[in-house]
Each structure stands twice: as C-alpha cells, then as structure tokens.
Structure 1
Amino acid sequence: MKKILLLSAYRSDSHASWANWLRQNLVADWRVLELPGRYFRWRIRGNPLSWLGELPALLDGWQPDRILATSMVDITTIKGLNPALASVPVSYYFHENQFAYPLGEGQHSSVDPLMVQLYGALAADECLFNSDYNRHTFLEGVDALLKKLPDCKPDSLAQRLAAKCSLLPVPVKPVAEGQKTAGLIVWNHRWEYDKKPELFLQLLQLLEQQQFDFSLALLGPRADKTPSALQAIRQQFSARIIADGMVSRAEYEQLLGRAQFVVSTAIHEFQGLSVQEAVTAGAIPVLPDDLCYREQYADLYRYQSGDMQAAAGRLLELSGSVNRIGLQAAFRDAGDGWQQWLLMRQ
C-alpha cells in the first residue's frame, strides 16, 4: 500500500473538503499534518516551525513513498529540516496561488508568500492545479515577478515549471436537486473582501427596483464581526431571508436543492466549489465573466465583472429557465482523476 504524507498548512473549508475526500476515497497509508485556517501570513511562512517537533515524531519508524503538500507548505524548508524526506518525491497542490490573490484593505504586498510557492514548485516533482485559471495565473505571475527582479535570475523559468504542471480539481460532492422555490437566490460564499458582498447588496437592490420576486438563503462562513454588507442586506431584505448563517450539512444541501439561483460577485476564485455544489443541485449560476468561471460555464451564465446592472439583467433573463448544464467533465470526473493519480504513482 502506498504511504503518503499529506501536508496541509491552512485547513480552510475547501482545503478540508479536499483532504477529507482523499482519505475517505483513496486507499493508501495516509499520515496527515494540518494547521488551522487562520493567520495566513504566519501559516505560509511558519509551517516548518509549527511542525518542528510533530513531523520528526510522525516519521519515527514510518517513511513515506510520496509527499502530497498544498502550496501553502514551505516544502523546501521542510525537506531541509528533515533529511529523511530529502529524496521523497513531492506532489505540490495549488488550491490557490499568491500571484493572483487580491490584497484586502489594510494588507500590504509582500514577496514572501510568492517565494514560498515558487521555491515549492521548483522543488516539487509535479505541480497540480484545481483549475486552468489557477495554473496560467501562477505561471504568468512567475514571469511578472522575474521581470521585477534586478539581476542574477534564471531564464525561461515559467516555461520550465509549465512542463510539470497539470490540472486535477478538487472533487465535488453532488447534491440532490429538490423541489425548486422560484426566485430563491443562494449566497454560499465567505463574507469577505475577495467575494465582494457589497456588490451582491447592489444586485439585490437592483432586483427589487425591477420588482423581481426573490427570496434569500445567506449561507457561508463569516467573521465574528458582522460585515457591513450583510448588515445592510438584513436591514433592507429581512422579509425575504429564509436562512441566515451556518447550517448543518443536511440543511445546506436542502437549501441548495431548493435554490433557483446561485450568485457570485467574487474578485477571487480558483475553482469555485460552492458554486459547483449548487450547480449539481440544479441552481442556475449567475457569475462574473472572469476568474475560473470562464472555463467552467457558458457565456449565458456570465455577466461583465463588477457590473451589477449586467448581473441583474442576466438573472432576469435566466429566471424563466431551468439548469440543465451540469459540470464540465474535468470537474465532474475529478474523483476518477485522483484515483488515476494514485494508481500511476504506485
């Protein structure tokens, strides 16, 4: 049986879903180290310190055949600190890449996260990406970074990396379609700056102005401090809200099954698992013409990014239809892709 060391330095929702699926569906001798999904800058630079005692203890009497590490993991330092891992092949998994991650208000630009991922990609035997958008923005970002560096830098680095990059999405758990509630819009994203909930508020205001009869399921993780956009939505649309907050998995799937629409206003999305889950349940996607969505959904389901007039028009245009699009093969068959990945590395 293949012995795999899984290193995930930031256990956020999508990373957790991926790690859980692998252990439940791929037959291997898994040993897993994970860190909580908070304090991003510390996690991406500090994970070798966080695991300084735990990793040698895990390796005592057990030697992996392969390391599967997320791109949050400083794998070059991990190998340097743990000589037993020096010759173990590495599959480096990109849920995201820092070259294309938007800065939030008050955040400062830093080259450190970029270098962790660049050195990790160079040290890895293969680089796996959850979407083609993630892959090409990473390679474009590497090129852009090297152009800014003053001297003593390698030529054609992105091309060198491209040769070992491939697409392998996070598997999506299909959700059963239920009895649809006409006009039910689900928001099942984080309530954070990169998902632009203030644009979602604008969209709802426009729909109300156009006298569209809708209801809302406001799902997705949120910080302890209520975002201003969510406060405004609660105040202005309280009579339309049928769900608000984290719910059980069963309730979540039931709401997705009832939803007519799933809406995104994001400025950052590398795979869009929440939208994909809703689409499997028959929700009609209304999405920015940007990010990973371009490779996943037809023009009919996309609007000009940031233009809420266009988003409202698209939603109204689709209000008389039903979702029969399904997921594209690369995402629908991601589980088979991971099974093949394990088989080819036996």
Structure 2
Amino acid sequence: MKALLLSAYAADSHRYWARGLMAHLEAIDWTLIELAPRHFQWRVRGNPLSFMSEHDATLSQSFDLIVATSLVDLATLVGLYPHLGRAFRVVYFHENQFAYPLGEQQARRLEPLMVNLYSALAADRVLFNSQWNRDSFFDGVAAFLKKMPERVAPARLEALQRDSEILPVPLWPLDQVSPCEQGAPSRILWNHRWEYDKNPEDFFAALEALSDSGLEFELVVMGQVFRNAPEVFEAARSRLARHVTCWGHQTRERYLEELGKGGIVVSTAWHEFQGLAVMEAVQHGCVPLVPERLCFPEYYADDYRYDGSRQALTTRLEQWLLSPGSRPPSPEINAWTWRQMRMRYQTRLQPAK
C-alpha cells in the first residue's frame, strides 16, 4: 500500500506520532510531507499553498492511503489535486480547535474551526487520541453550526461520529527503564510546552508555597520552549533557584535521561487532549499528578488526580513529599505502547471490509 502522510504543523508530539506510524507499520510504503510548526494562523489556513509550492511533484502522484493531521486543509488539497480523492482518507485529531483555550486578548477565529470541520468532512474516517478530544470536537461542531445564518446539519458528520475511533498516540518501546527512586530528595518534573495553555502559573505557585514552607525537593523544568515564553518561567527560575537541577529545552537524550531519574510529573494544563509528555514520564517510572479535567480521567485513576485547584495541588505535593510511601506506584503503561496498538492502527487505516 502506498501512503501519503501529511502534517501541517509538525510540533514535537506530531513528529513523534508520524515517525511511530512509519516505523511500526513498515509494510506500508510511506511518503511524509510536513511543515514546520510556526506562524500558526498562516499555517492552518495556508498549508495547501505551502504543500503545493514545495511538494507539487509528490502530490501529483497517486496514493492508496492519505493520513493527515487535523490542521491539514484536506478539503482544499483534494480540490487542488482531485486524484487524491480516490485514496482512502484518514484524518487524525491530535487536538481540535473548538476546545482550544484562548489566551489573554485572543478572540476565537473562524479559520482554524473551519479547517478542522472541512478536513473531517473530506475524510473517509476520523480518529481521535482521546474520548475528550472526540466529544469536544463534535459538541463544538454542533454549537458552531447552530450559529450559522442558515440551518445546516451535514449527514456525513453523523456517520463520521458513529464510525470514529479513539486511538491514542502510542509510546515507542524503551530498551530499558531504570527503577525510580521513591525516597528523598524528591524530584518534581515539568516537561510540557512553555505556553499559557499549560497553565504554568498554578504549577509554580504551588512549588513556591512548598519552598516557602521549608520543604526540600528537586525541580526539573523541561519541554519545548518558544520565542515568547510566559514571563512566569523566568521569575520562577529565580525564586526557586535552590531547587533547580535541570532547566530549559534539552536534547532528546538528556530529556529521556532526566525522566529516567524518576519523581513526580505534574500537569496543571487547561488544554490537553492526550498528555503525551505525562505518558512519556510515566513510561520511565514517574508518578503522575494530573488535574480532574480534560483527557486525564480517561488515563489515570483517582489516586493520581487532584481537583484541579492550586490549593489541592499544593496539598497533594506536600503529602507526597513528606511521606513518599503515600504515593501510589507508577501506573501500568503497556496498553499505550505500539506493541499493543499496532494492529488497531493497521485495521483503522484501511477501508471497512
């Protein structure tokens, strides 16, 4: 089978997923086209022009399968290359713009919503990385369509919703995972993108409260750093300097090495459709502490969740730092690996028989 894999905004998690597909579904003859993750508003609306300008010869070929991320404007691309409409078309939703939280002074723009919607309608099958992602997408579409001047209700959306499936981004296998130390000094990890939607303010406020109370811990802050990171990071680095053992964007090797040292991996996110960063840390033996919202209840039992408030986070961390034995063990992650999910992917990337 000859397949075209399209990624319009190749952020770290999208690249991780795309390379996993190609490495673990090796019977498929893959061709990958991806665009750098920058200039989001231009990228999401202009990606067909970028694809056309840079990859016209490839797009002019015939394929049996097209797998596209949800930011690919697949409807426009098929309009520009009609022969691509003969391929079996799958759209994978890492996230959806209907549930993306807005930052300060941001307004909801129509273009990303329409690209998500039209790409889904142009697909033969849509896949989501979590139930939260799927539900918030179709709920968001329903609310959006009600705002249109003319009443519209595409029947195809009902079929897509009925036939869609939840397929998380699988974890690559590890050669070896070192057992994580549960004793002091305790380590607290942040390994998310440095952006407002990950809510770093709550994370650092909790740690400053713990530090002010005299508790000892090590702090590891990693993740993807962009040109305009929230100001709270630099301020927190100064205030928490005595705790910091690793700070900033790291090479992949150093990143995995730090995860392998163990600790408590924390999320305070307002936006998370799967939480791959937390999953990677869990894969290395870290204990997750995640809010009671978004996708997290799907993946983590009650023992690993707090009610989402800053105070509850501070209280749970204090308990786990003072009494490491009170922490639950790191969750079992076998169900999230390529070894377990390979056949499901292989089945869903083919037409129903």
User: Taking structure 2 as the reference length, what is the TM-score of the superposition?
Assistant: 0.91
CA–CA separation in structure 2 for the residues paired with 1:341 and 1:280: 25
Distance 1:6 1:345 in 2: 20
The alpha carbon displacement at 1:20 in A equals 1.2
Going from structure 1 to structure 2, the CA distance change for 1:91 and 1:158 (only over 3 Å counts) comes to closer
- CA apart distance, 1:228: 1.6
User: Aligned runs of 1:213-252 on 2, under 5 Å?
Assistant: 213-252=216-255
- Specify the SS of the correspondent of 1:239: helix
Aligned partners of 1:20 and 1:328: how far apart in 2? 19
The CA deviation string for residues 47-76 of structure 1, in whole angstroms up to 9 with x for no partner, is: 11111234431145x410011011001111
Aligned to 2:86, the other structure's residue is in SS state: coil
- Structure 1 CA distance, aligned partners of 2:310 and 2:74? 42
- The SS at the match of 2:290 is strand
What is the number of residues matched between the two proteins? Answer: 343
Q: What corresponds to 1:129 in structure 2? A: 128
How far has the Cα of 1:341 moved from its partner?
Answer: 3.6
Instruction: Structure 2 unaligned segments of length 5 or more: list them.
Output: none
- Cα distance in 1 for partners of 2:285, 2:246 equals 19
Contact 1:217 1:243 (8 Å CA) reproduced? yes
Counterpart CA distance in 1 for 2:312 and 2:190 is 18
The offset of 1:301, in angstroms, is 1.1
Secondary structure of the structure 2 residue equivalent to 1:51? helix
Deviations 1:17-55 (A, max 9, x none): 011111222121111111001111111110111112344
More displaced, 260-269 or 102-111? Answer: 102-111
The alpha carbon displacement at 1:174 in A equals 4.8
Residue type at the aligned position of 1:93: Y
1:187–1:217 contact (8 Å) kept in structure 2: yes
Flag the 1:278–1:196 CA change in 2: closer, same or farther, 3 A.
Answer: same
Matching residue of 1:337: 344
Indicate the residue corresponding to 1:316 in structure 2.
318
Q: Percent identity?
A: 44
- CA distance 1:324–1:221, change in 2 (3 Å): closer
**Structure 1 stretch 154-163 or stretch 125-134: which is displaced more?**
154-163
Q: Give the residue type in structure 2 aligned to 1:5.
A: L
Counterpart position of 1:48: 48
Secondary structure of the structure 1 residue equivalent to 2:189:
strand
Are 1:326 and 2:332 counterparts?
Answer: yes
Superposed CA RMSD: 2.1
Match of 1:266 among 259, 266, 269: 269
How do 1:257-296 residues align onto structure 2 when only pairs under 5 Å count?
A: 257-296=260-299
Give, in whole Å, the separation in 2 of the partners of 1:325 and 1:138.
28
AA aligned opposite 1:203: A
1:152 aligns with 2:151: yes
SS in 2 for 1:52: helix
TM-score, length-normalised on structure 1? 0.92
Shift in Å, 1:336:
4.2
| Structure 2 letter corresponding to 1:91 | V
State how far apart, in whole Å, the 2-side matches of 1:331 and 1:304 are.
28
Residues 47-126 of structure 1 aligned to structure 2 (within 5 Å): 47-60=47-60, 62-126=61-125
CA distance in 1, matches of 2:213, 2:294: 28
By how many angstroms is 1:156 displaced? 6.5
- Distance in 1 (CA, whole Å) between partners of 2:350 and 2:149 is 44
Q: Classify 1:229/1:336 alpha carbon distance in 2 versus 1 (closer, same or farther; 3 Å).
A: farther
- Tell me the distance in 2 between the aligned counterparts of 1:179 and 1:69: 37
Deviation at 1:265, TM superposition (A): 0.7
Q: Alignment partner of 1:326: what SS?
A: coil
Separation of aligned partners in 1, 2:153 and 2:227? 45
Q: 1:157 to 1:88 in 2, by over 3 A?
A: closer
